[in-house]
Structures are given as structure tokens and as C-alpha cells.
Amino acid sequence: MGFWKNFFWGSQGSTSPSPAASPGAVAKGSVDLLDPKHLETVNLDSLQDARIFFSTDPNLDLYELEELCSSVGWSRRPLRKVRKALQNSFLVVSMWEQRGKRRRLIGFSRATSDHAFNATIWDVVVRPSAQGKGLGKALMNHTIKKLRQEDISNITLFADAHVVDFYRGLGFNVDPEGIKGMFWYPD
Amino acid sequence: MGFWKNFFWGSQGSTSPSPAASPGAVAKGSVDLLDPKHLETVNLDSLQDARIFFSTDPNLDLYELEELCSSVGWSRRPLRKVRKALQNSFLVVSMWEQRGKRRRLIGFSRATSDHAFNATIWDVVVRPSAQGKGLGKALMNHTIKKLRQEDISNITLFADAHVVDFYRGLGFNVDPEGIKGMFWYPD
């Protein structure tokens, strides 16, 4: 797994794209040290000696991801479908906390896209113990930055009512020009 | 182009997926005769001797597609990016009218997806001369049917204010449980 190699070796390099990944998707496996300019709102005291990393490797440990998602109360999803969803996401961002030799998955987001015009962000999650430190904002800014690097100009998402203000603070607009998000579910 | 071969030969067969298409995307190139049950609201008198076909071949003539989009007043987009968007869409649906030997592109929609949980429908268009006959509804029902066949359960879209009621009539809900569609644009 190139991610961990890069993580421990401190390289900024990329692994080869997974054969199952969408062609043209955001280059997989890059690990970026958190850009200090995205940490402006982070309470550094609360992070203590932790270092925060981002990865765009879609080959996550699915059990670790499931544990993160269950920490915020999300119900379980079949791992086979989760794996397929990650492989077919245009962008997968994971956020990691490292204290000494101990590393922990503390955040996640992903985006679907047509690789040209639109991207839609899904499954944004930050571990409860890591909330309130500006890390959710840092995760979203990193996600937006990666999509912008791919020349995606229309970034969308569907926000639960209680996080609408969070996304508004990041520059997202609700119902611009009366455009409405709509959902169809099976009967 | 397998599509036209299938179209004229009346086959239900599929072409090979385009090498540039996303792996696992909806099988490309199938051409289905409009399912009569989707024509329930069509004013058949107004269709006269026309036959309506759907295709899921993403290899459309981009000039024909651009002409369709400009017929509803959409501004031009770079064909290179349109091609990329079609190749990386999970589903591309085109709707065709045939009168005698004359065929015409009269509708279009596409969807991005993670191939597992979510799909988002974009660029829904019906030629003005074909509007008011139930064909927009047929196009959307066909799009939903194709996504459901791929086991996508969460189908979303962003509707302009004046078509919210149209989508509501197809079973789409606005802001269910307070979920809001949000947009981020570059400054």
C-alpha cells in the first residue's frame, strides 16, 4: 500500500493508480502534510504533539473506515459496496492524526464527478474526539483544493440541516438562484 | 459506432465499452424501444408517425448534442470537456425521434455516480419542439429505471426553480428531512 509507505517515509510521491480506479480520477495515494494556511482556525493547543496528515489513497482499511463512521452513529453499509464506491469516487480524502508512532483515522470525505464540470461531495465525517478544533474545516478545504486542482468548477453537496451553517462558512451557498436539491428513493 | 448499427438493425445488443469509459459504468450502447408503460402521458396524436428511442451510448455526436443544448438556450461548453464529462458519466441517456428514415436527437440526460450508493443526474434537456408531450417524463423515467437496474438507491439532482414541480411529479422530494443542496463556486 503506497499510502503507508509514503506516510512513514515522508514522501510526497504518488502510488500507481489502482487498476480498479476510474481512469482520470485524482491521482491516488498522494499524502500531503496539512497546509499550514488551512490550519488557521485550529486550536493548536488541543492538538498538542499531534501531526495531521491528509491522504487521497482510496485503498483504505475498510474496517478502520467503518469504525470511524460508526463513531458518529452512521449505520453499517456492506463493505463490498463501500469498496466499490471508493474505487469509483473521483476523489477520496482521509485525514490522519499521528502522535508519536500511533496513527489514527480521524476524518474522511469523498466526491463523485464527471472529471470535467461537476463534483458532488459525500460522506464527510470527523471523529467526535477530533471535532471542535477546526479539523472539519481543514478537511473540507483540502477536499475543495484537490477538486479545484482538477479544474472542477461546480462543487456540490447535500448537507444535513445541522451542518448547513458549517458549509456556509466554507463558502457553499444554499439554493442559489432557487436551485433545489432533490432526492428520489425507491418506494 | 455501435449505436447506429444497433439503431438501424434493431438489435438490443451492446457495443464494447469505450476504453475511456469508467469501468463498471452502465453497459454502453444499448438501444431500447421506449417502454409503452412510460408513454402513458404522451399525446400520441402529436407524435403522429414518430417512433421514440432511447440510447445509453456515451459516444454521441457532440455537435448534435451541442445543437440540442443550444435549442434550450444553454451556453456553449468546450467540446473537449463535454467529451470527458460523457466518458466519465456513469449513465448517458439520449432520446431520439425517428420519422421515416429521419432521426433526430430530442432529449438528453446523464448521471455521475459512485457505482454503488449515489447517483446525481445532470444536463436534462428536451428539445422545445418535443416538449409538452410527456417525453421529458419518459426520459426521466428511463434514466431512473437504468439507475435502479444498477442497484443505485439514492438518486439526486439539482433542479432549477421552474422545474421543481416537474421533478416532484416524478417522485423527487425537495429538502427531505431538511437536507439542503449546496453549491461552491470559485471566487
Quote ipTM for the complex: 0.79
- Residue B167 annotated to the active site: yes
pLDDT band at B103 (very low <50, low <70, confident <90, very high): confident
pLDDT band at A40 (very low <50, low <70, confident <90, very high): very low
pLDDT value for A155:
97
pLDDT value for A49:
72
Residue contact B112–A116, C-beta within 8 A: no
Q: What are the φ/ψ torsions at residue B180 (nearest 5 degrees)?
A: -115, 135
Whose CA is closest to B56, among B142, B158, B122, B148? B142
CB A58 within 8 A of CB A89: yes
Query: How far does B84 lie from chain A, in Å, by closest CA?
Result: 6
pLDDT band at A1 (very low <50, low <70, confident <90, very high): very low
Contacts with B148 from chain A: Cβ below 8 Å: 186
Choice among B167, B171, B174, B176 that is catalytic: B167
Residue contact A118–B110, C-beta within 8 A: no
Average pLDDT over chain B reads 80
Which chain B residue is nearest to residue A178, measuring alpha carbons?
Answer: B161
Residue contact A174–B182, C-beta within 8 A: yes
CB B119 within 8 A of CB B93: no
Contacts with B88 from chain A: Cβ below 8 Å: 22, 24, 90, 113-116
CA angle (B80, A157, B154) in 5-degree steps: 95
pTM of the full structure: 0.80
Choice among A29, A167, A173, A187 that is catalytic: A167
Half-sphere exposure of A177 (CA within 13 A, CB side): 6
CB A28 within 8 A of CB A15: yes
